[in-house]
Amino acid sequence: MKKIITIAILLFSFVSFAQIKVIETVPVEKLGKVNNNYIQKIGDEYTVYYTSILNDDDSSPLRKFSFKNVNNDYTNLYNIIMGGFTATPLYDIKLELPNNYIWLHYTGNVVPDKATVQFMVSSKDRDAATNSVSEPFVKDQISKLFQK
C-alpha cells in the first residue's frame, strides 16, 4: 500500500510541475485579398496588410496597421472608406488608430468608378517613425478586401 501511495504522489508531482503546457490558441482568419493586400483577423483584432509603393531601406514592401474591433470598428472603417468615394469633391480623411495615423487619400476624375483611395500610414512612435503609402484601390477592390 505504501508503494502505491508513493507512486501516486510521485506521478502527481510530475503532472503538476510538467514543462509542457497546452495553451489555447486563437484561430487566424484571412479575410478578403486583393493582389498582395489582405486583411487578417485574430480574435477581435484586425490587421490590414498592404503593399507600400514608397521605396525605403526595408526590403519588404508589405506593411500593416492593426486595430481591435471595439464598437464595430471594422465595419465603421469600411463605411468611412466607402463614404469617401461618394464625397463631392473627393477629400482626404484622417483617422487615428492606437499605434498609427492613417490618411485616406482619394483621387479621381469625373467618372465615379475611376476614383481611387490610398492608405497613407504614419507611425505614432517618434523613435521608429515610419511612413508608407499603399497602392491605389478602386471601390470594388475595397469591397473585396473587406469581404463586403
pLDDT in tens, 117-132: 888 888 877 666 678 8
Domains in the chain, please, with CATH?
A: 27-146 (2.30.31)
pLDDT in tens, 16-66: 556 777 788 878 888 888 888 999 999 889 999 998 887 665 667 788 888
Per the structure block, which three cell numbers stand in for 79? 463605411
pTM attached to this predicted model:
0.74
Q: Using alpha carbons, select from 145, 118, 144, 111 the residue that is nearest to residue 132.
A: 118
Eight-class DSSP state of 144: H
